[in-house]
């Protein structure tokens, strides 16, 4: 996708998109972030962090229980706790990565991994196997 296409899709000016990319925009208007996140299908928080120069890794503390998580819903707060390694409900190892290709989980709105096409949610059989 070219910059022009992206700007058009996000409903913002090409010029402001250029500024964002150069890190010249410290603060984005809500309209811009909403438009961009919709166009790119990435979370708004992510965009805001990129603009503030915060490393993406520190924002994306996305961790889910591949067994209990329901696609399209937010992660349970307790899964996101940095000290949580296993699911409080079923004991499965929490994961921030695709179970199949180990690529990062890009959005909890996605049902499938865009990199390998395997569902983020573990199939029932696999989930039962990995529970201790
Ligand atoms: Zn669980
Ligand atoms: Zn994958």
Q: Report the C-alpha gap between 33 and 129 in whole angstroms.
A: 41
Alpha helical stretches, state H, 3-114: 3-10, 14-21, 30-40, 44-52, 56-59, 77-80
pLDDT digits (tens, 9 = 90+) for 45-97: 666 766 666 555 444 468 999 999 999 898 999 998 888 999 999 999 999 99
pLDDT-derived band at 25, boundaries 50, 70, 90: low
- State the ligand closest to the CA atom of 113: 2
> What local confidence, expressed as pLDDT, does residue 59 receive?
47
Between the CA of 85 and the centroid of ligand 1 the distance, in Å, is 11
Between the CA of 113 and the centroid of ligand 2 the distance, in Å, is 5
Q: Which domains does the chain have, with CATH numbers?
A: 3-59 (1.10.260), 61-132 (no CATH)
Task: Supply φ then ψ for residue 31, to 5 degrees.
Answer: -60, -40
């Amino acid at each position: 996708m070219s910059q022009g296409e992206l700007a058009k899709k996000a409903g913002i000016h090409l010029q402001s998109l250029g500024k964002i990319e150069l890190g010249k925009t410290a603060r984005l208007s809500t309209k811009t972030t909403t438009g961009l996140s919709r166009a790119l299908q990435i979370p708004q928080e992510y965009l805001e962090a990129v603009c503030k120069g915060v490393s993406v890794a520190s924002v994306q503390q996305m961790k889910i229980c591949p067994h209990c998580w329901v696609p399209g819903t937010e992660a349970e707060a307790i899964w996101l706790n940095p000290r949580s390694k296993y699911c409080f409900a079923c004991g499965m190892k929490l994961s921030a990565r695709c179970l199949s290709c180990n690529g990062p989980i890009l959005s909890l709105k996605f049902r499938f991994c865009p990199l390998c096409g395997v569902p983020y949610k573990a199939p029932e059989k696999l989930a039962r196997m990995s529970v201790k």
